[in-house]
C-alpha cells in the first residue's frame, strides 16, 4: 500500500481532530497546513511535526505534492475551498455541512463526477460499531416494518450567554446553526440506518440567547488571502473590549420528518441544554421491536420487544480493533474519526467499498437543512423535492 500525503485547511478544534486521526494511520502523513491564523497554525505544525504552514490554502495547493486535502474551515468557505481542491485534482474530505446551500452542494457533486475525484463528508457517527449493527438489523427485517425513528442531539457549550463562537453568526455559519452543525449528523445517521431518504419536514426554530459578546479584535477564520509558507512562527493579535452582537442562527430546533417509505421521524436539537456535552441518541421503532443507541453509552445496543426485558449487545468482533496502528477503544471518538478517515483513504488506495458519506450524501443532508429553514420561516411542511433529476440520473 502506498502512502498518502495530506493537507489540512483550518486550525480549529476539528482540524486538530482530523490531524490526530490521520496520525493513527501508518500510511498517511500531514505534510502541510493552511490557516490565516498564524499563531494557531504554526502551533499545530509544531505540535504535530507538520513541515509547512501556509496563510493561503491556494498556495498550499499549488506548491505541495498532495494526494488528499481536508477542509476544516468555517461553513461559508466550504463551497469555494472544496471546489478549488477538486479543480487541483486532489481528493477531498470536507467538514459538515458540505456547503451552506443545496445548490452549491449539488454543484460540487457534479464537479466531483467531472474530475473523477473521491469525496467525503465528515459524518463520523456512522463509524461507531453499534449504528452499523442497527442498520443491519433494520435491513434484515429483524425489526419488521420500520414505523419511526426519533431522538435528540443536545449540547450545552453555548448555554452561557457570555460565550461567543463564529457559528452564532449567519455570515460565517450560514442560515442554520443547530440543524446544520449537529442536526446534520443525526439526519445523516437516520437516513443511513433506515436506508430511506427524508422527503418532507416541518420545523420550529428558536434563538434563546439573542445577543452575545464578540471580541472586537480577533483572529480571522478565513483561510484565503495572500502570503506564503513558514516552518514555524507566532503572532500576537491583541484584544479589545467585546462588542454585543445579534445572534442570527438558532440555539434550538425541533423537526418532524417524513421518509420516502412512509416512516416517520422526530428530532430535538439544542446547543444550550445545560448538562449535555454531546447528547446524540436515536430509537428505531418497528412492527416487531425497537432498537436504540446513545452516544453516551456507545457500546450499548438496546433491543426491546413487547413483554420482554431490554438487553444490550457488545459491538461485533470486527469492530473490536482500531483502524490504523494506534490502539484505542471502539467506543471512543478518536476511533470513530480514525475509522471514518481510514475508510475514505482505503477507497482512494484500493477502491474498497465503505459506508462513509460522500458529497452526494452530504448534498442530500443539505437539501433537508434548507427545507427545514424554509419550514421554520413558513410555519408548515416543506418537501425536499425530487432527489435529483439532474445529479442522480
Residue 150 included in any domain:
yes
Cell numbers representing residue 70 in the block: 481536508
Residue 265 included in any domain:
yes
CA proximity to 50, closest of 230, 236, 234:
230
Residue 276 included in any domain:
yes
pLDDT score of 385: 72
Beta bridge mates, 206: 252
Q: Are residues 35 and 101 in the same domain?
A: yes
> How many domains, the chain?
2
Residue 346 included in any domain:
no
Yes or no: say if 245 and 210 are a contact pair by the CB < 8 Å rule: no
pLDDT along the chain (393 residues), means of 10: 92 96 96 96 97 98 98 97 98 98 97 97 95 95 97 97 95 95 98 97 98 72 42 44 92 98 97 95 97 94 81 54 42 84 95 89 98 97 68 42
Residue 261 included in any domain:
yes
Q: Are residues 198 and 313 in the same domain?
A: yes
Residue 231 included in any domain:
no
Cell numbers representing residue 390 in the block: 439532474
pLDDT score of 114: 97
Yes or no: say if 112 and 359 are a contact pair by the CB < 8 Å rule: yes
Helix and strand element counts for the chain (H, E): 11, 18
Where does a domain end: 93, 121, 149? Answer: 121
Q: Are residues 132 and 268 in the same domain?
A: yes
CATH at 182: 3.30.360.10
pLDDT score of 187: 98
* Distance, CA of 186 to CA of 151 (rounded, Å): 8
pLDDT score of 242: 85
CATH at 108: 3.40.50.720
Where does a domain end: 121, 144, 159? Answer: 121
Q: Is the dihedral of CA 185, 186, 189, 195 positive or negative?
A: negative
Q: Are residues 80 and 137 in the same domain?
A: no
Range of the domain at 105: 4-121
Q: Are residues 110 and 130 in the same domain?
A: no
Beta bridge mates, 151: 267, 282
pLDDT score of 353: 75
Q: Are residues 260 and 313 in the same domain?
A: yes
Residue 53 included in any domain:
yes
Where does a domain end: 100, 121, 142? Answer: 121
Counted residue by residue, the chain has a size of 393
pLDDT score of 169: 95
Q: What angle do CA 26, 30, 34 make, to 5 degrees?
A: 165
Q: Are residues 112 and 146 in the same domain?
A: no
Q: Are residues 93 and 161 in the same domain?
A: no
Residue 84 included in any domain:
yes
Q: Are residues 47 and 129 in the same domain?
A: no
Q: Are residues 295 and 191 in the same domain?
A: yes
Which residues 6+ apart lie within 8 Å of 368 measured at CB?
187, 198, 201, 384
Q: Are residues 143 and 292 in the same domain?
A: yes
Residue at grid coordinates 456547503:
99
pLDDT score of 236: 37
Q: Are residues 163 and 29 in the same domain?
A: no
Amino acid at each position: 500500500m502506498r502512502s498518502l500525503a495530506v493537507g489540512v485547511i483550518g486550525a480549529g478544534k476539528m482540524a486538530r481532530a482530523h490531524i490526530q486521526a490521520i496520525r493513527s494511520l501508518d500510511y498517511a502523513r500531514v505534510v502541510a497546513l493552511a490557516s490565516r491564523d498564524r499563531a494557531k497554525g504554526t502551533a499545530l505544525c509544531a505540535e504535530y511535526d507538520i513541515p509547512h504552514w501556509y496563510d493561503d490554502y491556494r498556495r498550499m495547493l499549488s506548491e505541495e505534492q498532495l494526494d488528499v486535502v481536508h477542509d476544516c474551515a468555517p461553513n461559508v468557505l466550504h463551497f469555494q475551498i472544496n471546489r478549488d481542491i477538486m479543480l487541483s485534482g486532489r481528493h477531498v474530505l470536507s467538514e459538515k455541512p458540505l456547503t451552506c446551500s443545496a445548490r452549491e452542494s449539488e454543484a460540487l457533486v457534479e464537479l466531483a463526477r467531472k474530475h473523477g475525484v473521491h469525496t467525503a463528508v465528515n459524518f463520523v457517527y456512522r463509524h461507531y460499531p453499534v449504528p452499523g449493527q442497527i442498520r443491519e438489523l433494520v435491513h434484515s427485517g429483524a425489526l419488521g416494518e420500520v414505523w419511526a425513528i426519533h431522538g435528540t442531539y443536545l449540547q450545552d457549550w453555548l448555554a452561557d450567554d457570555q460565550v461567543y463562537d463564529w457559528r452564532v453568526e449567519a455570515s460565517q455559519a450560514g442560515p442554520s446553526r443547530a440543524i446544520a452543525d449537529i442536526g446534520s449528523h443525526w439526519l445523516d445517521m437516520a437516513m443511513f440506518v433506515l436506508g430511506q431518504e427524508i422527503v418532507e419536514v416541518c420545523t420550529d426554530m428558536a434563538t434563546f440567547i439573542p445577543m452575545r459578546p464578540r471580541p472586537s479584535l480577533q483572529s480571522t477564520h478565513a483561510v484565503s488571502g495572500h502570503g506564503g509558507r513558514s516552518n514555524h512562527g507566532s503572532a500576537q493579535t491583541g484584544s479589545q473590549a467585546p462588542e454585543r452582537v445579534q445572534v442570527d442562527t438558532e440555539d434550538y430546533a425541533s423537526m418532524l420528518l417524513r421518509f420516502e417509505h412512509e416512516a416517520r421521524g422526530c428530532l430535538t436539537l439544542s446547543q444550550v441544554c445545560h448538562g449535555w456535552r454531546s447528547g446524540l441518541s436515536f430509537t428505531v421503532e418497528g412492527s416487531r421491536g425497537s432498537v436504540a443507541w446513545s452516544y453516551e453509552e456507545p457500546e450499548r445496543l438496546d433491543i426491546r420487544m413487547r413483554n420482554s426485558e431490554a438487553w444490550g449487545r457488545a459491538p461485533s468482533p470486527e469492530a473490536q480493533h482500531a483502524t490504523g496502528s494506534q490502539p484505542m477503544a471502539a467506543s471512543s471518538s478518536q476511533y470513530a474519526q480514525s475509522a471514518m478517515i481510514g475508510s475514505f483513504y482505503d477507497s482512494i488506495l484500493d477502491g474498497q467499498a465503505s459506508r462513509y458519506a460522500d458529497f452526494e450524501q452530504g448534498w442530500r443532508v443539505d437539501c433537508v437543512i434548507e427545507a427545514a429553514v424554509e419550514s421554520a420561516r413558513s410555519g408548515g411542511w416543506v418537501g425536499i423535492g425530487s432527489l435529483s433529476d439532474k445529479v442522480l440520473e
